[in-house]
Every structure is written in structure tokens, then in C-alpha cells.
Structure 1
């Protein structure tokens, strides 16, 4: 079953500059290469990979990066409103980041880290440019007359002279492991639960909702059945979490003493302690600032999951769960922060076929 790109390219500039034309052509080449990748292609396989070689991908990536940097410099010289140009460059950075994620499975660890650092630098440059050229909206510290149930959702707590106040911030939030900034996605999800059994069954009609968030859970059992596009975890303690296939990425932040069974194309873990991860994943799992984490193959089951895994491009076990990248361990020897779970200590297959939906997901 074909998948629709969840991040369509923006409409081209109606009056593009030569730099914009060059960059758009580069993005088209990246997209065309990605479209030809197909399912399960790897370097060295009989099928052609997304790019002819690692060097060809890095060459295209470098050209796109230089084009974006050129656009950032050009925008500073404009006498007109820079906002439309900044928006276009922002979209280009997002496209380049997505292309890197989709091809990360064949990049060597060093090249992947270097490319992620380049994306981080581009984002930082864009943020600086925006801060310098786009007028800031005025705001003031004030007490929120209608505080949220959980202040961490879409707000930052600031303490001044013992008084807690909330500063509302934008809700387009994601974890960015390249820069180390971590935020919680404002999407439907389970929040602020303790000692609960939580079950969510994603219907086919709900795939358009895109994302689901689990945050501030303690000593819970969570079962997510069906397919979804992205998952976000934040501040999860002593929980057991079992998930069906995720079409895009899973981002995990600040978890401790947990067991996860997850299937996704990309999984990134930040700030995990003493937790076990049973994974079905297309690219290498990424950990950062984590310790005592262990990995094993996926073992979640419910009626229909095999078909869902296949339709999501996750039908085959690739063994990537055991090929973990630790971004804070740069030595050639094995990172001490993670290991494979010994066979005798692994959990068995977990069958959630008979579980009914419960728990009341927050909207």
C-alpha cells in the first residue's frame, strides 16, 4: 500500500531567484532519488539504494546545505519584508531534514552525526535571522486566569520571588536531538496518569490525526493498537508500553524504569535510564544522554497487527534493533550505555487482542 508524504513540499516561489531555482532543483533530485528507493533497499543489495553511494548522498546533501546558507545570507540584504523568504527557507530546511531521516538507515554513524549537526546549524542560523529581522510580538509576564491541568503542556513555568507564572509558547513542538532541545508535542494523548491501564485503538479513519503523545505517566500499562504517524513520549516512569506500527518517527524523552515495545521507521531516545526497548525499526535506533538501556526484538501482538506492520513497511525483521547509535559515545569500542537483553531475560510475546479501549485519551 502506498504512503502519502505527510510533509508536502511548499508551492514554488512564483518569482524564484537563481538561488531558489537551484535549491528547488536540488530538493527535486533528493525527492526523486527517495521515490526510487522502494521498500527495504540497502547499500550492497541487489536492488538499487536511494542513492548510488554514501558519497553521492553526501554530495547532494552538501549542495542543498550550501544553497540554504546562501539564501540565509541573501535574505539579510533584502530591503523588502523578509518573512516570505524566511518561510521558504524554513520549509527547505524541513525538507532536507526529512530526506536525511528517510535515508539515515544506510549512512555510517559519523556521517549521520555530522549531517544532523549541519541541520542543527541551519536551524540555529534561521532562528538567529528570524530574531534579527522579524519584529517580535510584545508580551508580559502574567498569571494565567485559566491554568492548564498540566502546566507542562504548552507552557513554561517561571518562578520570580516565589510566584509561579506561566508564559504561553507556540505549540509546534518537537524533540530536536541535534540541538538537545526537548519539548512536548501538543496532540491527542494520555497525560497525567498513575497506576492506570490505558488502551487506545487507532481506527483507519483516525490516521489523519497524525500524532499521539504520552507524557507524565507513572506506573501505567499502555496498549496502543493500530497504526499512527508519529508518537511522542515525555516523563514516563515505571511504565510498560506496547505500541502497534508507527509510519514515521518515535521520539522519547526522560523515561526511567520502563519497558517499551515499539515498531517504527525511526526511533530516537533522549534521557532514558534503566529501561528496556523491544523494537522493530527500519533505521538504527538513536540514544543520547542515556544509560542502562537494553534492546531486544519486537514482541507485541493483536489481531491484524501482521498486516498493519506489512502495510507500514515494517513487515520484515531487519535486526536494526541491535545496531544502536549512541550520539554521546564517539569511541570505536562498544558504548557502555546500552546492551542487548540476554535471551533468558527477555519478555515473552504480549497479546493485546482482547483488550477494549479505555483510559480516555485527552484531545
Structure 2
């Protein structure tokens, strides 16, 4: 302590949580050397404790996150060494999908003590792993397409052509393909007057189907691959960010709040859409549909936006293409914007 500090006038001192609080009273000559020494010793002790302290929560998280990130990346690389065995590859990818979900939940639970930059970097890391998984699945487990070549040799025997078509149909309808589709989808069907919910771990990277719902409220707090809504009447459907597209078909008097790359609306009447779309919304054979900005919120929303690969600063909610309205210089009568005073907060 400087000589100026040593000549400050004071009366007494109180120690609270290792810190000495000095109370100064005019008329006193100087600070006693014993108190100065005690204060210096305490400060030195606190300094040593800080130096010997273990890693902070943030540092421990980053170490564990990095280890898990590398582990998942190695598991993804190992898919190329399974000798093309579709069953083994599918099983490995399912395991990786579960691990990615766990890692996402770990980040979500730890975000309270992380700075925004660290959350952004970790979210980007999870998204990169997810994208890599999708690329590997597309390369090693390509989906079988039903179709015929447009260049069939007319000289081929008709019986051979018929046999090829039958074989293709059998492959398309094989039990293995049906099971695979079922394992990668979820949702609700034929429900009335219920509050329904799907968490992130159930919808992550899956296709969600909502069909034949009447007077229901549906919450999807997660990142599905796609959402398909069919025959919804008088419902509210609120979803987290969707990695690809949302298709709405034959719905009436329903309110939607959803974020996605692309929204397609068919055969729909008197519905409100609160949306975040990175392309444009498309409507067809629909009337009295209205649009406003996406406004559904839940605690992990920012992380899920990152997992879905959607940019928060890019929202074309008011750009709507009506395939039944071809007049470019006039507004389509089939859709409009929801007035500010009529917008609902979720």
C-alpha cells in the first residue's frame, strides 16, 4: 500500500467475506500496521485461491463439448467403413442422431453460464455435424425412387418391361422401406379437443405428420425435418424452426405459427399464418389466408434456429406467391396481411 494510503484517517475495520472494510473518522493519525498486514495477507490468500481454483463451468463445458463433438465426428466417418451394409449404416446414423440430440440438450442446459459468442460457435458446430450426417445418409442410404426410364428401348420384349415394372413396384412397397419411413416420422392423427405436444428429442431430424385434427392446440418445440398438416379444423399449431419445408393441405379456421425454408399452402380456407420463411410462401386453391411475422417463443428457440440452418435476419413473411393469381400488377384477393391490432401473441 502507498504512503498516502497508510496515512488515511480511520477508526476501525470490519472483515466481510475476506475483504477488509475501513471506516474513517477524522482526528485519527494513521492506519495501524497490524490491520494493514492482515489485509495484505488476506488479499494474498485470495489471490492464491483464485490461482489454484479448478476450471470454471464455462471452461468445463467447452472441454466436454469439444470431446463429444470429436466423438460424433469420428462416428460419422466410421459409416464409410461398414462395407455398405445398409442396416448397420442406418443403425449407426440413428445412434449419431440420438447423440446429436443429447449434445444439443447439453448446450441448451449450459447456455445460462455461456457468453453469446460461445453459444453461437457451439450451435454452429452442432449444425455442421447435422449437415454432415445428412450428406452421409444421402450418399450411403439413398432413397429409392419410384419411376421408369423415359428412354425405354421399344424393341424390348413387352413381357420384360412388365416384369421390370412389377419388380420396381415391389421394391418401392417393400416392408423395409415402410418401416424405415415409420421410424423417421412422428405426429398426431384423428384427435379432437386436446392439447398436444412434441419435444425436441422426438422431432429432431424427423418428418412430422399432423392429420385430421379438430379444435386442438399443438406445440412442437424442436427442429423437425419437415411438417405436413392435413385436414386441420379450428386448431392452433405452433412449431419451432423446421429444417426444410412445411406443407399445409385442406385446413380450415386454423392458426399457424412456424419457421421454415419454404411454406406451401393448398386447398385451405380462412387460416392465419405467423411465419418465418427464407424463400417465399406459396398458396394454391386457397382463400382468405392471412400472414404476419413469426412470434412463437420458447427457451431453446435460438439454438433450434441454428440447428435448422435458418437465418434469423432473413424473413420473407410478406412475400406470398398465389399460383391461382397471374396478374402481376395487382394484389391477389386470396391472401392479405394480418392488421397489427388483430395479431395474436403466443
Task: Name the residue aligned to 1:134.
Answer: 165
Off by >4 Å, runs of 4+ in structure 1: 9-12, 80-83, 130-133
Structure 1 counterpart SS, 2:224: coil
Task: Name the residue aligned to 1:198.
Answer: 196
Q: Distance in 2 between matches of 1:309 and 1:298?
A: 12
Q: Contact 1:75–1:82 (CA<8 Å) still a contact in 2?
A: no
Deviation at 1:320, TM superposition (A): 0.9
Q: Distance in 2 between matches of 1:11 and 1:222?
A: 32
Residue segments in structure 2 that go unaligned for 5+ positions in a row:
1-126, 143-147, 170-176
Task: Name the residue aligned to 1:74.
Answer: 151
Structure 2 counterpart SS, 1:328: coil
Q: Contact 2:278–2:311 (CA<8 Å) still a contact in 1?
A: no
The counterpart of 1:294, out of the listed 276, 283, 290, is 290
Task: Name the residue aligned to 2:308.
Answer: 312
Q: Distance in 1 between matches of 2:155 and 2:263?
A: 40
Q: Distance in 2 between matches of 1:285 and 1:323?
A: 7
Deviation at 1:213, TM superposition (A): 0.7
Task: Name the residue aligned to 2:272.
Answer: 276
Q: Distance in 1 between matches of 2:155 and 2:250?
A: 42
Deviation at 1:325, TM superposition (A): 0.7
Deviation at 1:266, TM superposition (A): 1.2
Taking structure 1 as reference, are residues 79 and 264 closer, same or farther at Cα in structure 2, changes over 3 Å only? same
Task: Name the residue aligned to 1:342.
Answer: 339
Q: Which has the larger radius of gyration?
A: 2
- More contact order relative to length (CA 8 Å, sep ≥ 6): 1
Q: Which has the higher helix share?
A: 2
In the comparison of the two structures, how many residue pairs are matched? Answer: 204
Q: Contact 1:82–1:134 (CA<8 Å) still a contact in 2?
A: no
Structure 2 counterpart SS, 1:255: coil
Deviation at 1:344, TM superposition (A): 1.1
Taking structure 1 as reference, are residues 297 and 243 closer, same or farther at Cα in structure 2, changes over 3 Å only? same
The counterpart of 2:219, out of the listed 217, 223, 242, is 223
Instruction: Give 1:1-363 correspondences, 5 Å limit.
Output: 1-2=127-128, 3-4=131-132, 5=134, 8=138, 72-77=149-154, 79=156, 134-135=165-166, 187-203=185-201, 207-208=204-205, 210-332=206-328, 333-348=330-345, 350=346
Q: Contact 2:223–2:307 (CA<8 Å) still a contact in 1?
A: no
TM-score (norm: length of structure 1)? 0.49
RMSD: 3.8
Q: Contact 1:248–1:265 (CA<8 Å) still a contact in 2?
A: yes
Q: Distance in 1 between matches of 2:263 and 2:162?
A: 31
Structure 2 counterpart SS, 1:247: coil
Taking structure 1 as reference, are residues 81 and 199 closer, same or farther at Cα in structure 2, changes over 3 Å only? farther
Deviation at 1:78, TM superposition (A): 7.0
Q: Contact 1:281–1:321 (CA<8 Å) still a contact in 2?
A: yes
Taking structure 1 as reference, are residues 187 and 335 closer, same or farther at Cα in structure 2, changes over 3 Å only? same
Deviation at 1:77, TM superposition (A): 4.0
Deviation at 1:314, TM superposition (A): 2.0
Deviation at 1:195, TM superposition (A): 0.7
Q: Contact 2:186–2:203 (CA<8 Å) still a contact in 1?
A: no
Deviation at 1:334, TM superposition (A): 1.3
Q: Distance in 1 between matches of 2:209 and 2:141?
A: 30
Deviation at 1:135, TM superposition (A): 3.5
Task: Name the residue aligned to 1:96.
Answer: none
